[in-house]
Structure 1
Amino acid sequence: MNDKQYKNESITLPEQNCTKKSIELYVFIDPLCRNCWDFSTILKKFHLEYGQYFSSTYIPVNRYYTTKKLLEKRPSQLAFVWEKTASRSDILCDDHLWIDNKELYPYYSAIALKAAELQGRVAGVNYLKKLQEYYFLKDLDITDQDVLIECAKDINIDVKEFMEDLHSTHSIKALQCDIKVTKEMHVTEIPSVVFFNENIEEEGLKVSGFESYQTYVKILELMTNTKLEKRELPDLAEFIKFQPFVTIKELCMIYEQSTQCMELELKKLILRRKVKKIVQKDQIYYQYVV
């Protein structure tokens, strides 16, 4: 770690995101960014081993994308993108323009995520995972309203309520709040994580970009000012059971095993008919057998 990788900044923690746990993580990600998808593996491991110390709030940062194709922006351009987005706040607040305004298409998935979050933090996290599954594995257009509704059905939230919130000003204003927070915290790279402790008057600690797992562990230890107790990871089959899909790369990172060892363990689970292998888009994934 060095000063370029993370720094202290005076950042105000919004009251509505206060938590009973001592540390709150603000995680800035783009749901359609491959690096952010990979970064979610680090967060999974972090929650499994040290989740008793912190909770997470996910803030979507959309870098303009079109149907089925992400138009990547360089990190240095991200500030300009959000400045331009913020200037459209009046348009975003007018829900009457939702259906017909083509300029709103890039925001559909982000607003849908906010609509899901209105049903709780867990609903929001599950919806984000399902969006990524639909985009990266199924190659579906997640700016399409029907696809967004299918995501809601798949995670078993109240679909009627979700559809109402999808077109309400509540979700749009929640997205506006995210845009404001992103700007105020000077987030110019994604993924980025800001650590806050329970004292909202104290500064947050920001980690910009994709860092090593131990970086986040060390910062958590620094912020809690205590020796962390590491929890045991769940059994491999049990972990896969509660994931929509996993890759060998993800499992190797979480369980800190070689590819060869993990392949052997997965073969055992396949023979026991607990796990099945799925091949999509030339990629191999593993899924629990219900």
Structure 2
Amino acid sequence: MNDKQYKTESIIHPKQTCTKKSIELYVFIDPLCKPCWDFSTLLKKFHLEYGQYFSSTYVPVNRYYTTKKLLEKRPSHLSFVWEKTASRSDILCDDHLWIDNKELYPYYSAIAIKAAELQGRIAGVNYLKKLQEYYFLLDYDITDKEVLIQCAREINIDINEFIEDLHSPLSIKAFQCDIKVTKEMNITEIPSVVFFNENIEEEGLKINGFESYQTYVKILELMHREKLIKRDLPDLLEFIKFQPFVTINELSTIYEKTNQQIELELKKLILLRKVKKIVQEENIYYQYFDSQSIV
């Protein structure tokens, strides 16, 4: 395989975590970046079909100012963001800055992810997904403290602990660590993924930017050094049942069907009262219809 075809680059393992599966992915994303939201769908498919071979560590990177008062996204050079954030993150524990310093708002969502992660890796991943749903599907301001707390409440983690950790030195330290790892791995495009195998002495492979699904499959097979066994996807209804919200585009990506095909299947499920369609302003999404919840 020609590595240059996939824009790969050799990377030294940061030696921060213990890989439980044979392959570990470091996934660098901006929670408020639309391409990263699209990439999260692709990564969901990757986990469904090949998740038995790898685990994922998410590293949030903020490269945009995205408060509701600054709706026009202004990209910043990542190296500038690193230095600016690193110089300020020591004072983020000051409770007054949460309200008073508007310039720090873009970083709060990343720190909130770290606060949730203190309750376990799965809690961190679930919180990230909920944060993206609030932002992209429900159009909430996820730099608002109360919204961040509501996200935590919905994924059923300890709320009191989460609120305390929002301003904890541990969360700030974890955030600073992410900045350091991002810088050490020379991440210049978001999203980016770095693959490492279980031997941390060997170099990993970095894929810059958003590539095709088969690119990630081929890199995984290269790192695993054996033929991969692809798992079957769950039935459409079964998948929807365990998702808070789904969109037609998301389902089209995961099931590799056209939007028209997915829409037809959803209409059938709606008629069977298995799924409900929700329209919120310009957004359309679908949710599992739980008849038992109806009184």
Question: Does TM-score exceed 0.5, indicating one fold?
Answer: yes
1:36 corresponds in structure 2 to 36
Amino acid at match of 2:166: L
CA displacement 1:86-106 (0-9 Å, x = unmatched): 2334334x5466435503222
1:261 corresponds in structure 2 to 261
Pick from 51, 73, 77 the counterpart of residue 75 of structure 2.
Answer: 73
1:14 corresponds in structure 2 to 15
In 2, Cα distance between the equivalents of 1:124 and 1:10?
A: 24
State the SS of the aligned residue for 2:146: helix
2:83 corresponds in structure 1 to 83
1:6: how far off? 2.6
Instruction: Tell me if the contact between 2:6 and 2:215 (Cα under 8 Å) persists in the aligned partners.
Output: no
Amino acid at match of 1:289: F
Instruction: Sort the Cα spacing of 1:245 and 1:144 in 2 relative to 1 into closer, same or farther, 3 A.
Output: same
Instruction: Tell me if the contact between 1:26 and 1:193 (Cα under 8 Å) persists in the aligned partners.
Output: yes
Instruction: Sort the Cα spacing of 1:36 and 1:162 in 2 relative to 1 into closer, same or farther, 3 A.
Output: same
In 2, Cα distance between the equivalents of 1:257 and 1:100?
A: 45
1:99 corresponds in structure 2 to 98
In 2, Cα distance between the equivalents of 1:175 and 1:227?
A: 37
State the SS of the aligned residue for 2:24: strand
TM-score normalised by structure 2 residue count:
0.92
1:288: how far off? 0.8
1:155 corresponds in structure 2 to 155
2:116 corresponds in structure 1 to 116
Matches within 5 A, 1:1-290: 3=4, 5-15=6-16, 17-68=17-68, 69=71, 71-73=73-75, 77-92=77-92, 94-95=93-94, 98-102=97-101, 103-290=103-290
In 2, Cα distance between the equivalents of 1:95 and 1:182?
A: 25
CA RMSD of aligned residues (A): 1.7
Matched residue count: 286
In 2, Cα distance between the equivalents of 1:280 and 1:84?
A: 37
In 2, Cα distance between the equivalents of 1:277 and 1:177?
A: 41
Instruction: Sort the Cα spacing of 1:245 and 1:96 in 2 relative to 1 into closer, same or farther, 3 A.
Output: closer
1:257: how far off? 1.4
Instruction: Tell me if the contact between 2:65 and 2:75 (Cα under 8 Å) persists in the aligned partners.
Output: no
Instruction: Sort the Cα spacing of 1:23 and 1:130 in 2 relative to 1 into closer, same or farther, 3 A.
Output: same
1:176: how far off? 0.3
Instruction: Sort the Cα spacing of 1:97 and 1:184 in 2 relative to 1 into closer, same or farther, 3 A.
Output: farther
Instruction: Sort the Cα spacing of 1:248 and 1:100 in 2 relative to 1 into closer, same or farther, 3 A.
Output: closer
In 2, Cα distance between the equivalents of 1:212 and 1:10?
A: 21
1:20: how far off? 1.5
Amino acid at match of 1:37: W
In 2, Cα distance between the equivalents of 1:101 and 1:175?
A: 21
Structure 1 unaligned spans of 5+: none
1:285: how far off? 0.9
2:293 corresponds in structure 1 to none
1:5: how far off? 4.1
In 2, Cα distance between the equivalents of 1:263 and 1:64?
A: 33
Structure 2 unaligned spans of 5+: 291-295
Instruction: Sort the Cα spacing of 1:64 and 1:256 in 2 relative to 1 into closer, same or farther, 3 A.
Output: closer
